[in-house]
Structure 1
Amino acid sequence: MTKHANALFVRFIALGIAIQVVVCHANADDTVRRPNVVLILADDLGCVDLGCTGSDLHQTPVIDALAAESMRFDRAYAAPTCSPSRSAILSGKNPAKLGIVGHGGVRKMGGGGDFLVGTEYTLAEALRDGGYNTCHIGKWHVGQAKANRPEQQGFATVVAANEFCCPGSFFYPFRDRRKGSKNAKLSAVPDLESYGPSDHLTPSLGSEAAKFIQQAAQGDQPFFLNLWYYAVHTPIEAMPEKVDKYSALKKPGAKHRNPEYAGLVEHLDDSVRIVLQALEDSGVADNTIVIFYSDNGGEVRRGITSNAPMRSGKTTLYEGGVRVPLFVRWPGVTRPGATSKVRVVGQDLYPTILAMTGVAGQQEQNREMDGVDFSALLRDPSATLPPRSLHWLRYGELVHYPTYKTDRTFGPSAAIIGKEGWKLIEHYPTPHGLERRYELFDLEQDPYEQHDLAESRRDKVAELKHELTEWQREIDLPSYEELAYPAFEKINGAGDSRAGERLRP
């Protein structure tokens, strides 16, 4: 090699090294610039349980301020109970496609339980594989012990996730201390031994979240914090001073009149304050997406709360059961105070978060998702999404809600909201006297479902019934008739042949 050629070779080598350094530096900067994500999920928080959404008792100044800084979705939906909603968030799929059509689910598939199977490539796994530090804090309730726990579903750090639907108690030591309680072990909340009698569970989870944020903010990875509160699910427990406060504030004729529940809602607000302050103190608030959402509508039975003017509540497919608050604060993108009336649903969060973070995810999971990326709405409140229908299946879970067999409101059902805003609810029959019936509502003109048009618009009933039936065929789930009657028999004994006839279309 000549001297000139040798010099040229050295220059090429040097240039290649320089390019590699620049590329590596750019990639590192891209990683740093990726936004952190904090997904705050309340449990059983109704669409009007916050000050900013219409409560006439509950005081939630922190969440109200977050909503004011966020884009607010006035037509956000979830499943009517917790396990389906949580599974939808993690999978990006309609929970019925996963076989989760009850409080814990009625499965035709394998996976070791009635919940989200381990073969799903979850949102947490996608973010983890995309370079995110992942953490789950709080309620889980989508997988059984040692099978589909958060540790197996993509979370590197897990805190305070028990094996049950709710905590044994919101009071320290956060377990059920009643003698003979059969679920005391399952409902005990772990990992919080350092707290004491003056601590309520809900702010304690906020403190744990703050610890994670402070630690993660010092690292070189963006982070995903999945903060799923137990509040405001039963047991309805608040510190005495909050109960006293709301006992004095409640007014005759108000829709919200439960001081214990109001206190629990305020505990949630206190906890969110701790989390948001930790983002500020750690210097990452301006690069952190905060999403606030609820897993289903408020529990209206037993006088817990009210979703008025929305109809009914948790476990039903009326608007009060599936309409929930949703706020998204994306610094530098969302406009404070912006609102959208486009219908979005829990399974949309997965593809939307992938789009916001620039994480590719897994091709097969992305292809099978039912969720739609709504990040365009976050950038432009006037934007729309392609027309689509939303579907729900609710077969019922007699172990948790034995009144399903005779209750016309809370019994098993299916529903569809069509592309034009018409909503059909199909109420399933039971061997105990409930007959198959349909209700039809024009949500654009009647958002509170006061006027059933099923008799006068039989053409629309037939159209939506056909679409709902075709969707059920597409998801390849055993029909209500195949799954429900054996469940009724299990609870009630042998049943009778005449009851079986009533189950057929």
Structure 2
Amino acid sequence: MNQLTQSRKIFSSLCLGIAMTLSSTVTIGADDRPNIVLILADDLGYSDLGCTGSDLYQTPNIDAFARDSVKFERAYTSPTCSPSRAAIMSGKTPARLGIVGHGGLRSMEGGGDFLVSEEYTVAEALRDAGYSTCHIGKWHVGTKSVTGPHEQGFDEVIASNDFCCPGSYFYPFRDKRKTGKAAERSAVPDLEDRHPGDHLTKCLGEEAVDYLERQKASDKPFFLNLWYYAVHTPIEAQRDKVAKYKSLIDPDSHQRNPSYAGLVEHLDDSVGSVLRAIDNKGFRDNTIVIFFSDNGGEIRKGVTSNFPLRSGKTSLYEGGIRVPLLVRWPGVTRAGETCQEAVVGHDLYPTILRMSDVKGHADQNANMDGVDITPLLRDPSASLPTRAMHWLRYGELIHYPTYKNDREFGPCAAIRKGPWKMVERYPTPHGLEHRFELFNLHEDPYEAHNLAREEPAKLEELRRDLTAWQTEIEIPKYEDLAYPAFEKLK
């Protein structure tokens, strides 16, 4: 048993006072330490908000929040939900965690938990430092009773199922057409007292408001992890919202799905209710609010458009990995400022530690890939030390049939370094060839011009850097792990 696992067992089995006596890995500050609310949307694309350029969706509450916050124009994440969520909770790139597909696929046959219990999560760090912790909504980085929210640091867990999405957004929040294990995994628990017609997204906001009300009587700071299922499939919205957007669609619009537009509005309504509760219950001046998305918008089957960015969810082009990020830190951030520096989801863990003055665990901190971005919150014109960002997506057997010969969404790796981005597209047994693409994002943010032939020296530099990173994280090579599994499929 390693030192990190031992420390976690100590924290779980002893009361906080004894734990603080025996361990120097956490810091308890004064009662005025900031509360933290992390709001994570699911599949919300970069262009899905009014404040980020939507030509259909109306998001007045989030837009107003953006005007009070620092908006990051170049915020990155993973191309699918489970890797991005694991990165937020651990401060590490998904590939370092062994996640090179949609979930915890440590072998192409599946198996393995999404986020192993040895990871000392940001929720554990805050809880062990005296924070009240609550997770509401989608988890999808582990299984209940093994690596679920309770096991990974949350005192309270509400409406969290064991699947990627709800059976339905309408009460009773299950797919009535299905039975058995799949139906049970996708059913959303803890909301049995709701009524026919109730929308899940509104209910999650109500649960968050109730949690905030309970914290008024507490002398502990809190960490509210509000991870919506919206706007992931199934694309379901109330009829009046769908009708509203049907009447607003312009034939020249890039975004033309009225049901998705209605679901985005449900999300905005719910986020607005939580933000108002933070104000009305007296928490605003001492509560940091972070709004983020787990990956780019789903563009297949006409769900949404990430225009002007290229592609969408599951792709390593900008539309798949670049998302909205808004941060309001009272007394620190200045309203309406914009930051152009590139940041990424696993930066949130070390940033939250700095914001809350919590030390965390030395072992976890030493092995994080994320960096503290509080200097950018204090001064959005500041710069971080030069670094490369890496992505690795070998794919997974369950979804392989949908991209086995699709050039846009097939397995690939990518590196972003300064203005340069290289995408290495992996071959498949069913038609995709090995190739490289090179883009200068400062001159070509839409990735329209492949410069691989024109810039051979830069291409070779990034190829070496990407290979060195893959060697450093000790991930099996694509041709050794994924290709043999794909080859077996008819």
Q: Same fold (TM over 0.5)?
A: yes
After the TM superposition, which segments of 4 or more aligned residues of structure 1 sit over 6 Å from their partners? Answer: none
For residue 469 of structure 2, what is the aligned residue in structure 1? Answer: 471
Structure 1 residues 454 and 112, CA gap change in structure 2 (3 angstroms): closer
C-alpha separation between the residues in 2 aligned to 1:423 and 1:325? 20
- Once residues 178 and 66 of structure 2 are traced to their aligned partners in structure 1, the CA distance between those partners, rounded to angstroms, is 42
The DSSP-based 3-state class of the residue aligned with 2:470 is: helix
CA distance in 1, matches of 2:75, 2:409: 21
User: Do the aligned partners of 2:139 and 2:149 also contact (CA within 8 Å) in 1?
Assistant: yes
Which amino acid counterpart does residue 452 of structure 2 have in structure 1? Answer: A
Unaligned runs of 5+ in 1: 1-26, 493-505
Q: State the shift of 1:181 in Å.
A: 6.9
Structure 1 residue identity aligned to 2:320:
G
Q: Where does residue 381 of structure 1 map in the other structure?
A: 380
Residues 339-488 of structure 1 correspond to what in structure 2 (within 5 A)?
339-418=338-417, 420-488=418-486
Cα deviation per residue 1:360-407 (whole Å; 9 max; x = unaligned)?
100000000000000011111221100000000011123124122111
Counterpart of 2:152 in structure 1: which amino acid?
A: Q
Partner residue in 2 for 1:82:
81
Q: How far is the alpha carbon of 1:105 from its aligned partner? A: 3.2
Once residues 102 and 404 of structure 1 are traced to their aligned partners in structure 2, the CA distance between those partners, rounded to angstroms, is 13
1:175 aligns with 2:171: no
1:100–1:114: 8 Å Cα contact kept in structure 2?
no
**1: CA distance between counterparts of 2:313 and 2:178?**
29
Letter in structure 1 aligned against 2:92: K
2-structure distance, mates of 1:194, 1:281: 25
Report the CA distance shift for 1:68/1:478 in structure 2 as closer, same or farther (over 3 A): same
Moved more, 111-120 or 133-142: 111-120
- Residue 284 of structure 1 aligns to which amino acid in structure 2? F
Q: Is the 8 A contact 1:113 1:143 kept in 2?
A: no
- In structure 1, what residue type is equivalent to 2:318? E
Q: Which amino acid aligns with 2:168?
A: S
Residue 220 of structure 2 aligns with an amino acid whose one-letter code is Q
Secondary structure in 1 matching 2:167: coil
Q: Deviations over 1:254-289 (max 9, x none)?
A: 011000000000000010011111111211111100
Mapped contact 1:105–1:115 kept (Cα < 8 A):
yes
CA deviations 1:172-197 (Å, max 9, x no partner) are 00001004576111100000011111
Q: Which residue of 1 aligns with 2:189?
A: 190
Does structure 2 conserve the Cα–Cα contact (< 8 Å) formed by 1:99 and 1:108? no
What is the CA–CA distance in structure 2 between the aligned matches of 1:383 and 1:217, rounded to whole Å?
A: 36
Aligned to 1:134: 133
After superposition, the C-alpha distances for 1:111-133 in whole angstroms (9 at most, x for unaligned) are: 97241000000000000011100
SS in 2 for 1:40: strand
Distance in 2 separating the partners of 1:202 and 1:316: 26
Gaps of 5+ in 2: 1-26
Post-superposition Cα deviations, 1:41-67, rounded to whole Å, max 9, x if no partner, equal 000000000011000110000000001
Count of residue pairs brought into register by the alignment: 463
Question: Could you tell me which residue of structure 2 aligns to residue 97 of structure 1?
Answer: 96
Listed one character per residue, the Cα deviations across residues 219-277 of structure 1 (whole Å, up to 9, x for unaligned) are 01000000000000000000001001001111111011000000000000010011111
Closer, same or farther in 2 for the Cα pair 1:108/1:365, shift >3 Å?
Answer: farther
Larger Rg: 1
Distance 2:401 2:164 in 1: 17
Q: Could you tell me how far 1:170 is from its partner in structure 2? A: 0.2
Corresponding residue for residue 4 of structure 1: none
Counting aligned pairs with the same residue, the percent is 66
Q: Does 1:330 align with 2:329?
A: yes
**CA RMSD, Structure 1 to Structure 2 (Å):** 1.5
| 1:151 aligned partner | 150
5 Å matches for 1:489-500? Answer: 489-492=487-490
Residues 181 and 408 of structure 1, relative CA distance in 2, 3 Å threshold: farther
User: By how many angstroms is 1:489 displaced?
Assistant: 4.0
Tell me how far apart the structure 2 counterparts of residues 200 and 401 of structure 1 sit (CA, whole Å): 32
SS of aligned partner of 1:152: coil
Looking at structure 2, the residues matched to 217 and 332 of structure 1 have their Cα atoms a distance apart, in angstroms, of: 21
Letter in 2 for 1:268: L
- In 2, distance between residues paired with 1:151 and 1:290? 22
In structure 2, what is the equivalent of residue 292 of structure 1?
A: 291
Counterpart residue identity of residue 429, structure 1: P
TM-score normalised over the length of structure 2:
0.92
1:217 and 1:73 mapped to 2: Cα distance?
Answer: 31
Alignment-mate amino acid for residue 394 of structure 1: R
SS of 2:255 mapped into structure 1: coil
Q: Is the contact between residue 287 and residue 329 of structure 2 (CA under 8 Å) also seen in structure 1?
A: yes
Matched residue type, 2:349: Y
Which residue of structure 1 aligns with residue 255 of structure 2?
256
Q: Aligned letter for 2:106?
A: R
CA displacement at 1:141 relative to structure 2: 0.3
Question: What is the CA distance between 1:488 and its match in structure 2?
Answer: 1.1
Distance in 1 of aligned mates of 2:111 and 2:156? 23
Q: Given that residues 398 and 488 in structure 1 are in contact (C-alpha distance below 8 angstroms), is that contact kept between their aligned partners in structure 2? A: yes
Instruction: Please name the residue that 1:281 is paired with.
Output: 280
**Aligned to 2:459, what secondary structure does the other structure show?**
helix
Q: Is the 8 A contact 2:43 2:298 kept in 1?
A: yes
**CA–CA distance in 2 between the matches of 1:182 and 1:364?**
38
State the distance in 1 between where 2:373 and 2:209 align. 28
TM-score (norm 1): 0.90
Query: Higher helix proportion, which one?
Result: 1
